[in-house]
Amino acid sequence: MRILTMPISRRSILKTTAIGAGVIASPAIISSSALASSGEVNFTGWAGYPGMAEKVFPAFTKATGIKVNFTEQPDQDTMFAQAKISLATGASDVVEPTLDRVAAWNSNGLLQGWDLKKVGMDNYAPGLADGSAATLSTIEGKTLILPSVWGTEALVYNKKDFPTEYGKASLGDLFNPANQVTVRGHSALAAMGRWLDAQGKLPKPWIESYKDEATMVQLWDIALAEAIKAKGNVVQFWNGENDAQAAFRTNGAVVGLCWDSTGFNLTKDGYAYLAPKEGAFAWNQGLVLLKSAKNVEQAHEFAKWVSTADGSALWATAFSANPVGKGGIDLMDPSVSAFYKASFPGDAVSKMYWWPSQAAWFLSKRGEYADKYKAA
């Protein structure tokens, strides 16, 4: 479970500079029905990102003529509570939760599916709205969430002491006794599980451990035992950005499983960030259409614009995250663009492993396993 509150967080690639006015789209051709009812859309999203109101929404209005009525909320629980109220009031049209929450929102009768003919599915970069991401966003044949921004957890490595390249770099590097590494508890166990799965060493696919407690215990017991055997090379467990960086700068780690923000912040110190051949761990948040939405056509125009190169670049810059639209990365700060392209070469984006939905029972058990691993 992820509660996102501040702009500088695990989702950050870096503290990006703002995109210049040159990327603001010129007025686009939109359907007349999008403006037929009110010419506005009611959007509920994350508080604490001033760039949304200052740059993103004005650019959308300039491009489409549709006004955005923005309601800021501090976390997903508050968004969820407001969405339940909106069933009766129709106060919100579109909300921006994370992908792993969508099943719960749908089971509470809050969502309707997007009309994919109206949202420009070809705008999205490969791997973000198709493949496994599409599977996770589709319930009962309906696409319930469209991506808005995304981030990853992959390998940070010392280019001098641990030279590697895409296709060679592996989650297995974290468990090689020759390497000094840094990890966080639960991510290391998931990495071990995925690595074992890739080698055909598990009785069931690792992804099934998220579905029921019995399967989780079966597979996480195996991952825990193997991770404990390899634990001698862990120089530091990290929990946040500062201690992740300290593991490399102070405690001698040469490779670690860390957020993309850690990789970016260490680039000037001789480190790089790279997706492992098994695929980077990835999260995304996106746009859901409430069942009680009053401005449905405008909501579709809103989602479509966010998927464009201009719209996705502005949205990602506001969040200090990665854009979802093709060409969006080329409109961001040059240092961000260079970092992104070096970190996700070839088919790396299409191979990303999206964190599955994680129920309350799963999060509780996951914490128990992480504690056992760190205490062993």
Instruction: Give CA–CA dist 374/376, Å, rounded.
Output: 6
Instruction: Give CA–CA dist 313/23, Å, rounded.
Output: 8
Query: Which residues contact residue 234 at a Cβ distance below 8 angstroms, ignoring those fewer than 6 apart?
Result: 181, 182, 183, 188
Per-10-residue mean pLDDT of the chain, 376 residues long, equals 33 38 38 56 94 96 96 92 92 94 91 97 95 92 97 97 98 97 97 98 97 97 98 94 93 96 92 97 95 97 98 93 95 92 94 88 93 97
Q: Where are the domains of the chain?
A: 21-151+283-354, 152-281+357-375
Instruction: Give CA–CA dist 87/175, Å, rounded.
Output: 49
Predicted local distance difference test score (pLDDT) of residue 38: 56
Kindly give the interhelix angle for 185-198 and 360-375, rounded to the nearest 10 degrees: 100
CATH classification for the domain delimited by 21-151+283-354, as one of 3.40.50.300, 3.40.50.720, 3.90.650.10, 3.40.190.10: 3.40.190.10
Taking the model in full, what pTM does it have? 0.79
Determine the residue type at 327: G
Rounded to whole angstroms, what are the CA distances from 244 to 35, 260, 273, 275? 48, 11, 13, 17
Domain 152-281+357-375 in this protein, CATH class: alpha beta
Do the domains 152-281+357-375 and 21-151+283-354 match in fold? yes
